[in-house]
A and B are shown apart, each in its own frame.
Chain A
Amino acid sequence: MADQSPILARLDAALTDALADWNIYTTLFAGILVAFAFYAVVSNKDPDVHPFLLARQSTASPIRQSGESATYRSLETPYGLPLRQGLNVKDVGAPKWTAGRRGDLRDVWKSAVRGALNENGISTGKQGKIYTVLGKKSIEHSLDQVTQEINVIGGHIQKSEVKTVAVCLTDSIELLAAIFAGSFYGFKVVLVPHNLPAETLSGHLQNAKADALIAEAGSLDLSFVTKGNKQLSLVIWVAKDGNRHMDWHEVPEDVKGGLEVAVWHELVQEGKDLAGFNVPKYDPTTPAPEVSTVWPSESPSGEFIDFKQENLVAAIGALGSTLPRNQRFSPSDLVFSIDSLSRSYPLCQILNALFSNASIALNSVAGENVDFALATNGVSPTVIVASSRTMSEYHEGVMKPHTGLVSSFGRWVQSRTLNAGNMPPKGFFRQLAQIGPTAELSLQKLRLLCISHRVDADASVRLSSEQLTDLRIYTGARILYALTGPGIAGAIAQTNVFDYRCLGGPSHFGGPLSSTEVTLTGVSESQVAGDSLPEGQIMVTGPAVVDGKTTLSARARISADHTLELSS
């Protein structure tokens, strides 16, 4: 009659039978089960950012023109709100409730010299530092010293009544001083990439109608340059430590009388006592002159981009505000650019660092194509600004070949954390992952890697999302990946710093910055009507764009998560 016994009794009997089989293996399995369940609960963390913010990274306008996509904007400045215009500078003594000024480069330097503010907005007087990296060593400069150079050189150029100054220097404090001197002393600065052949440089000077030139002593043949540039009336040589003993005052025969040749360090030496350490007084309502850069293009001469101060400050403000508060540049940061300051993204990031009172480091070899390991040798930065070419070549050439089995296992563990939306903590697995790929780096403090990609650069240097994941794991830094274009200060779009998703294929570029808005033009109506993603030429408008609007020849797509993606 066992069949008719109550169901509970039968269950009890079955359980007793099962438990009767309990042996050492059972204990083992039960132990594993409990331990794993415990681990799963303990290791569970909230992602760094709410997944919905990554699922839709920009806002689309509710209306569009025929043949165009909707206009996409950063989440900070949605449709109907004004785009970011500038730095929002609050002058001392201005009423608290007034909106800040847009500001210009003079305000950037002024706030760098003023030092960091505490929570109450009172200056603590703690200034950032400037380091110049030379191979394995770095030299420290104080901001006051640079202010002095700004005053001396600016004063000298002002006296010479020069309107346009071409600056052809490697990244150095002289380059920085020249840029700020232009803003304070009222002359236009044209940043010409260094290492150009003499004919190209001469052509640039003609195009820019430069009447003064600041260049590295011995880097170019002056008689050749002056031949094609009769308007040139002042040349300032910047002599490196090693060749300061030489006489650089020689003037080519045919322009004697019309041309003044001076040497930077001698001018500074002479004018030092008169110039003083104070930031020159200025009237914020008077506009500061433009800063021009050269955009490399198909033609050997490149394309001149005249950035108004408004363009630059909008970009600097947007680059600063786009980062979440705890990721912004702070006085404890050391921002190091291994990409040339004659390019607008590194320039704006460095200016952003100065405005945020961070320390900065400059490297004379900086450029679009540098050896990442060598360039970062002499300094331990918290933020690195680099180009996509530099990073892609380092990844292909060094990281990938040096990833062994052990590193791959470490990478796998860490990429799981990344996919869950968390930056992997420093620890055992990170060390495991970094054994091979970054053995030669000494970037202990690195927390942020700002990578910019030129819209017209070679498609092979575009970083894939796999590569970005690798870079996050192997360097232990978060990544900003930005798209830059001619005529746009800073960047068009930039990834969210907390976006660790690995979606496969070439990486997207996030949403537009708050100083730009992006519309795709030349979109076929049939495509929009269907369910497919709009694809067309990138049209960028906004305060960071020279003349307010530009259309690039490159084609792009807006993905389902409202990020900008270049079409291949």
Chain B
Amino acid sequence: MTIATPINLTLLSLVGVLLYWHFRPKQPTTLPRAPAPIVFRTYTPKTLIEFNGENDRPVFLAVRGRVFDVSPGRHFYGPGGPYENFAGRDASRGLAHQSFDEDMLTKDLSAPLDTLEDLDADPLENLQSWEERFNEKYLVVGKLVAEGDPEAPAS
């Protein structure tokens, strides 16, 4: 009677494998790194216009100095959408008047920001509700200042 028969050796190695499998050091579970956070930036009308959604760039629009990333709503705010005029622009006046026309925008990108001082209570309330909606749905990724503002990043 000998230990070193083929069947014994097979069983022994099976025990060995099972032991290793059970006692092998296990690494704790890891998850892939989360996507890097977006850096909050200060935009001017001239830098904001880059983000109009063309060529797969993100879609940004500004409301009362806050820049929202509305890329998830690209179908509305991006190229070809009903609100496409707002992409990359200060949309405050347009949203307040519930009008998506070109003439609601400040044409001259170097001009000071629209102060909206001439607006009545009704459009302001309308704007307020738009802003709340944006706040719920979209991220604020920056703020908008006029060209030449001391806060504006040097280009």
Contact = CB atoms under 8 A, between A and B. Distances in A.
Interface of A: 18-19, 21-26, 29-30, 32-33, 36-37, 40, 51-52, 54-56, 60-66, 70, 416, 419-420, 501, 503, 528, 531, 560-562
Contacts of B22: 36, 40
Contact of B141 (A63, A70, A419, A561): A63
A18 B7 contact: yes
Contacts of B121: none
Given A63-B38, A66-B40, A420-B26, A25 B31 contact: no
Interface string B1-33: 111011110111011001100110010111101
Nearest to A561: B30
A265 B85 CA distance: 78
B15 A32 contact: yes
5 contacts: A23-B2, A26-B7, A52-B31, A62-B38, A64-B38
Given A36-B19, A63-B139, A26 B36 contact: no
Contact of A52 (B5, B11, B29, B41): B29
B28 A503 contact: yes
A40 B41 CA distance: 56
B150 interface: no
A66 to B, nearest CB: 5
B18 A54 contact: no
Given A40-B18, A55-B31, A420-B26, 11 more contacts: A18-B10, A21-B8, A22-B7, A23-B8, A26-B5, A29-B8, A36-B19, A52-B29, A56-B31, A501-B28, A561-B31
Contact of A63 (B6, B7, B8, B40): B40
B contact face: mostly helix, strand, loop, or mixed = mixed
B34 interface: yes
Contacts of A416: 23
Nearest to B11: A29
B38 to A, nearest CB: 5
B39 interface: yes
A33 B15 contact: yes
Given A21-B5, A501-B28, A33 B140 contact: no
Contacts of A531: 33
A60 B36 CA distance: 9
A501 to B, nearest CB: 5
B103 to A, nearest CB: 33
A353 to B, nearest CB: 32
Given A18-B7, A21-B7, A64-B38, A51 B29 contact: yes
A18 B6 contact: yes
Given A21-B7, A55-B31, A503-B28, A62 B1 contact: no
Contacts of A61: 37
Contact of B39 (A21, A26, A65): A65
Contacts of B40: 63-66
A33 B37 contact: no
A26 B1 CA distance: 11
Contacts, number: 88
B30 A64 contact: no
A24 B26 CA distance: 35
B3 A25 contact: yes
A562 B10 CA distance: 46
Contacts of A70: 37
Contact of A37 (B8, B18, B28): B18
The 9 lowest CB-CB distance pairs between A and B, nearest first, are A51-B29, A21-B5, A29-B11, A70-B37, A64-B37, A55-B31, A18-B7, A501-B28, A23-B1
A54 B30 CA distance: 8
B5 A30 contact: no
Contacts of B8: 21, 23, 25-26, 29
A37 B2 CA distance: 25
Contacts of B139: 62-63
Contact of A54 (B2, B28, B141): B28
A528 B3 CA distance: 61
B36 A528 contact: yes
Nearest to B142: A63
* A22, A56, A531 — most chain B CB neighbours (10 Å): A56
Contacts of B26: 419-420
Nearest to B29: A51
Nearest to A22: B7
A51 B22 CA distance: 19
* A25, A32, A33, A56 — most chain B CB neighbours (10 Å): A25
Nearest to B35: A62
A62 to B, nearest CB: 6
A172 B35 CA distance: 50
B11 A64 contact: no
Contacts of B38: 62-64
B6 A36 contact: no
A463 to B, nearest CB: 18
Contacts of A54: 28-29
A61 B34 CA distance: 11
A24 B6 CA distance: 14
A62 B139 CA distance: 8
Given A26-B8, A33-B14, A55 B1 contact: no
Nearest to B12: A29
A19 B29 CA distance: 43
A33 B11 contact: yes
Contacts of B18: 33, 36-37, 40
Contacts of A62: 35, 37-38, 139
A70 B36 CA distance: 9
A61 B15 CA distance: 50
B47 to A, nearest CB: 15
A26 B12 CA distance: 9
B15 to A, nearest CB: 5
Contacts of A561: 30-31
